[in-house]
Amino acid sequence: MQSLRRASAASSFVFLLGLAGVCHADTQVGSTLPPAPSTLYGDLFVAVQTAQIYPDQKTFVDATPNADPATIVQLYEQQKSNPAFSLANFVNQYFTPPSEPVITPPANQTLREHINWLWPALTRTTTSAPPNSSLIPLPKPYVVPGGRFREGYYWDTYFTMLGLQESGHEDLVDNMLDNFAYEIDTFGHIPNGNRTYYLDRSQPPFFSHMVALAAKVEGNTVYQKYLPALRKEYAYWMQGETTTQPGQATRNVVVMPDRTVLNRYWDELDTPRDESYLEDIKTAQQASGRSPNEVYRELRATAESGWDFSSRWFGDNMTLATVRTTSIIPVDLNSLMFHLEITIAKGCGATRDFRCVGEFAQRAAKRALGINKYLWNANGYYGDYDWQLAKPRDNKTAAMVFPLFVGAAWPERAQKTARQVQSTLLQAGGLVTTTYNTTQQWDAPNGWAPLHWVAIEGLKRYGQDELAQQIGTRFLADVKGVYASEKKLVEKYVVEGAGTGGGGGGEYPLQDGFGWTNGVTLKLLDLYSPGE
């Protein structure tokens, strides 16, 4: 009888699979998206992630179902109590995991040749996605970071664009700007990445920097073209600004007791991240005295920061379970918001909307005052502020250079910050991310290409060219060392000690590719090794 029921279920599945093939077309640009996998599959999702069917929790949420999800869930419910049921076999039968393209470069490429060769290998065109895939289709081609990062990421893209522009790929720069404008128009913001499970949060808002980058080559009409998107993104980050009481926060907005408006990282949801489900469950279990949902939201907010994870966000500077990101006003985020405000003012100037120019120039001025009031540490550097504890965070990190990068730093404070960078963060292989070694990837001994570029540009802006060159040449030597021995560029690097190796720590193994490292490396080659 049991075998008859199994045969009947199998026959039903074949029939339903045929219906799914007939009734469900690919998701197209502009069409309605399916829910995130955790919602789509419910208990099946929990079972798969908890059982670690795949070593990387991101694999399942990037997989493509081979039938309608409701059918798959129904079959799972019917079969899971069977003593002979194998979850691994079930998943292997009804899901297709994402492909892992093998990148095999030609022999004897120089570093520059290798990066230029990589751009096409990292470029994707996904104007449609398989039915019920988590991938969000985008209208134009884009460049992915590489490795497990099979989709486009928000803040990564700016640093990738630096290299694309250097390589003469202005078309891809424009394509990715158009994709982001499309996402802002469609979702109200730029998601963390173009996956449905990333829709509830954004990432460090570099869109205004991307617009400014394109304008360097294409002229100021770029500001006018993207002004509606810039304003809509600003509105997303400032939701609740007018209704939040002093000393309170709403979503990404914090209103200080003196009514200064600043921003924080935030996520709409308070559940485990789809792509890191089991890791988040374990972290919440280690957070004694805290509700799991509180911890989940903090972890999600940290993912929006791009620094996932780092001592920057930990209550004790060491332990992930003490994460309190929503209580922290980040110096990098508010610097980027300052740049967004001055970019909107510039765009409004291009359209001769002088009332808007005045409004956003005033907003930027107030933001700069807020940065210099709350995000200046009396020990001589720009840093984060804990608004709930009403005191600065005593954690020296590479984020201290962001006010210099955007021009919001006071000159004498920029010089003091430069001295702190040199004395506490500069290492043999470049700029270390923080002074704490927590085993998290955004801490010592790791250094990251985007933070090096921000530091170099910020320091040069305030006349610290020699220190900028030290940082740039040391990190470039680190990148060259890894490439010489392993013939690849990686996501992050060890910069302490000898400073020649790929970085580690965090939730997943070191990834190759790698979009933002490629972009920054090309800029550094042009600055400090122009003949190579």
* Residue 259 to residues 130, 254, 389, 436, Cα–Cα distance (Å): 48, 9, 17, 33
Please give the pLDDT value at position 24.
Answer: 56
Token representation of residue 335: 């610097």
Q: Is 259 one of the annotated binding-site residues?
A: no
Q: Which amino acid is at 422?
A: Q
pLDDT at site 47: 98
Q: Which residues does 225 contact at the CB level (< 8 Å), separation at least 6?
A: none
Confidence at residue 284, expressed as pLDDT on a 0 to 100 scale: 98
In three-state secondary structure terms, 25 is coil
When pLDDT is averaged across residues 38-57 and rounded to a whole number, the result is: 98
Exactly one of 200, 233, 274, 491 is catalytic; name it: 491
Mean pLDDT computed over every residue of the chain = 94
- Report CA-CA distances (Å) from 103 to 47, 86, 143, 512, 513: 33, 34, 15, 10, 9
Task: Determine phi and psi for 177, rounding to 5 degrees.
Answer: -60, -45
Tell me if 43 is assigned to a ligand binding site: no
So where are the chain's domains? Answer: 2-96, 98-237, 396-532
What is the reported pLDDT for 101? 78
Question: Does the annotation flag 355 for ligand binding?
Answer: no
Determine whether the annotation assigns residue 148 to a binding site. Answer: yes
What pLDDT shows up at residue 531? 82
**Mean pLDDT within 381-395:** 98
User: What pLDDT digit, counting tens, does each position of 172-183 carry?
Assistant: 999 999 999 999
| 7-37 pLDDT tens trace | 333 333 333 333 333 335 799 998 899 999 9
Residue 216 burial (10 A CB sphere; 0-12, 13-18, 19+)? exposed
Known binding residue 461? Answer is no
Average pLDDT over residues 276-281: 98
Residue 300 has pLDDT above 50, yes or no: yes
Structure confidence at residue 453 (pLDDT): 98
**Cβ atoms of residues 267 and 201 within 8 Å:** yes
- Separation in Å, CA 506 to CA 280, 400, 439, 443: 12, 22, 7, 10
pLDDT for the residue numbered 274: 98
For the beta carbon of residue 42, count every other beta carbon within 10 angstroms: 14
For residue 201, say whether it is annotated as part of any ligand binding site.
yes
Q: Is the peptide bond before 354 cis (omega within 30 degrees of 0)?
A: no
- Tell me: is residue 298 an annotated ligand-binding position: no
Asked about 200 being catalytic, the answer comes back as: no
**Percentage of residues in the chain with pLDDT exceeding 90?**
92
Cα(48)–Cα(94) distance, integer angstroms:
12
* The amino acid at 327: S
Q: What is the pLDDT of residues 30-44, one digit of tens each?
A: 889 999 999 999 999
Is residue 158's pLDDT more than 70?
yes
> Does the active-site annotation cover 308?
yes
Tens of pLDDT, residue by residue over 213-237, are 999 999 999 999 999 999 999 999 9
* pLDDT of 207 strictly over 50: yes
pLDDT digits (tens, 9 = 90+) for 305-349: 999 999 999 999 999 999 999 999 999 999 999 999 999 999 999
273: which DSSP letter? -
Q: Is the pTM value of this prediction over 0.75?
A: yes
Each residue's pLDDT tens digit, 488-504: 999 999 999 877 799 99
Q: What is the 3-state secondary structure (H, E, C) of 84-140?
A: CCCHHHHHHHHEECCCCCCCCCCCCCCHHHHHHHHHHHHEECCCEECCCCCECCCCC
Among 14-23, 333-342, 353-362, 411-420, the minimum mean pLDDT is found in 14-23
Catalytic residue among 274, 308, 341, 443: 308
* Total count of residues recorded for the chain: 532
Residue 391 sits at φ, ψ, to 5 deg, of: -160, 155
H/E run at residue 28: strand 27-28
Per the structure block, which two tokens stand in for 418?
């430069």
